[in-house]
Structure 1
Amino acid sequence: MTLAIMQPYFLPYIGYMQLMNAVDTFVLYDDVAFINRGWINRNRLLINGQEYLFTVPLKDASQNKRINEVTLANDPKWRSKLLKTVEQGYRKAPSYGTVMPLTEKIINFGTDSIAELVHFSLIELNAYLGLSTHLVASSSIYNNVELKAQERILDICRQENAARYINPIGGTELYDKPTFEQAGIELNFIKSKLVTYPQFSRGNGQNEFIPWLSILDALMFNDVATVRTMLDAYELV
């Protein structure tokens, strides 16, 4: 069984979805410290030909809290504002008619927890793309918050009887292949290849691609079969 562990990111970029698609079980690492100005509650869209950073507002978010302890701000208008932004940016995109209802379902999900919102969103994205990856929140099962860094990752792998663990390429300095091998676990790092596709033409007629936006961007401009192909655009090292 192949496993990956990542903090929950809302409507993440395609590299995150590649990692999810590459494994059998994907653990949402939601009982670790919240990261301010990270990707847990933010991502980027294509609005008027420019990248636009959107943020889900949170209440008293702090690195002194775990992600699953952070709640959404008491702002009833943020959902409608974000949906309006998506509509304005993508209503002329080829797959808008099928992707917008999915977006509405995700953003309107009834919860005040950012961890639960992200978990639900990834379940819905998996279903839309026809992925079979099992999603589990780390706070719900492993009972090992006293462990730190690599030791905690190894413990989750052992509890899941994982034969392989895949981590984003940025973790090469954090995790040690011989240590994983001693535990009977193969360690790989995923390196995403640049995925391009037609976006809206700019005013000058040129179409300079803006990469690594939210998965919503790829979904708006491509059908499911094409995005599924994009999810395989990586190498393991």
Structure 2
Amino acid sequence: MQPYYFPYLGYFQLMGAVDKFVIFDDVQFIKKGWIHRNRILLEGHTKPIHIKIDHMTQHRHIREHARILDSVHDRYQLRLLRHAYQHAPFYADVMPMLERIMQDEEQNVAVYLETLLTEIRDYVGLQTEFLVSSSLDYDRSLKCESLVIEMCRHLHAGHYINAIGGQSLYHKETFAGAGVPLNFIKMEPVEYRQFNNPFVPDLSMIDVLMFNSKAKVRELLNAYTLV
């Protein structure tokens, strides 16, 4: 998976379902994707959060992009989070981690996001090993399914799990022919109390952590089926 900025629960369900999670950092930067942005809950409504990127373009890989280190912007984002979640039940546990992440001065976008994902992985107690695609020795001339199958072979994978959106890209028959069973992870409907507001789904993992204990988060991480 590409590294995302505080991705949603389903991203971490995928992370928890596997032994090795490959952070795809040597693919193009999708400007309309979730690499640099996400959404939180503010006064019952969604509110965007983001990191500032220097000369963001789809013509360069994710790892070839740099953050703009802007202390004013970072302080604003932190104030936003404090205002949004200061009365959430697990604010005191989660906020120090968010402060560390947002005040990190790492400029490389891919390295910064790997740190972010590592912090959350460790907080919720996942044991998944991270690998970074740019550090792997595989045939990068291949495309789409062939590229992923080559990476699976390189890592001696006995089972490949992809996000549910991958159903339009990858085919079980093709992977089975290469000796790698393929499944897609489908998140079950998840709801939890967000103050006294109607539930707003598909927000950043920040929202999940603010309203749920670590034990409850681990339950939610298992709320999926493989199809």
| TM tier, smaller | over 0.9
> How many pairs align?
227
Do structure 1's residue 110 and structure 2's residue 105 form an aligned pair?
yes
2:225 paired residue number: 235
Counterpart contact for 1:31–1:145, Cα < 8 Å: no
Decide which moves more: 105-114 or 72-81.
72-81
Corresponding residue for residue 226 of structure 1: 216
Paired with 1:94 and 1:74, the residues of 2 have a C-alpha distance of 31
CA shift at 1:77, angstroms? 1.9
Between 172-181 and 91-100, report the one with greater CA deviation: 172-181
* Secondary structure, counterpart of 1:97 in structure 2: helix
**C-alpha contact (below 8 Å) 1:59/1:74 kept by paired residues:** no
Q: Is the contact made by 2:69 and 2:105 (CA closer than 8 Å) also made in structure 1?
A: no
SS of structure 2 residue aligned to 1:63: coil
Q: What is the CA distance between 1:154 and its match in structure 2?
A: 0.5
One-letter amino acid of the structure 1 residue matched with residue 198 of structure 2:
E
Question: Is the aligned partner of 1:191 residue 2:186?
Answer: yes
**2:173 counterpart of 1:173:** no
- Counterpart mapping for 1:66-215 below 5 A: 66-201=61-196, 207-215=197-205
Q: Is it true that 1:40 corresponds to 2:30 in the alignment? A: no
Q: Distance in 2 between matches of 1:211 and 1:166?
A: 23
| Paired residues for 1:5-44 under 5 Å | 6-44=1-39
Task: Give the match's secondary structure for 1:136.
Answer: strand
Structure 1 runs, 4 residues or longer, greater than 3 Å off = none
Structure 1 length-normalised TM:
0.93
- Residue 77 of structure 1 aligns to a residue whose secondary structure is helix
1:74 is displaced (CA, Å) by 4.3
Question: Greater CA deviation, 124-133 or 67-76?
Answer: 67-76
SS of residue in 2 equivalent to 1:196: coil
| Cα displacement string for residues 92-126 of structure 1 (whole angstroms, at most 9, x for unaligned residues) | 00000010001111112221111111100111111
Percent of aligned pairs sharing the same letter: 43
- The AA in structure 2 aligned to 1:35 is I
Q: Secondary structure of the equivalent of 2:113? A: helix
Unaligned runs of 5+ in 1: 1-5, 202-206
Whole-angstrom distance in 1 between the partners of 2:82 and 2:137: 40
Q: CA RMSD in A?
A: 1.0
Unaligned runs of 5+ in 2: none
Task: State the secondary structure of the residue aligned to 1:197.
Answer: coil
Cα distance in 1 for partners of 2:10, 2:19 equals 16
Deviation of 1:145 (Å): 2.5
Residue pair 1:194, 1:211 contacting (<8 A) in 2 also: no
CA distance in 1: counterparts of 2:210 and 2:71, whole angstroms = 26
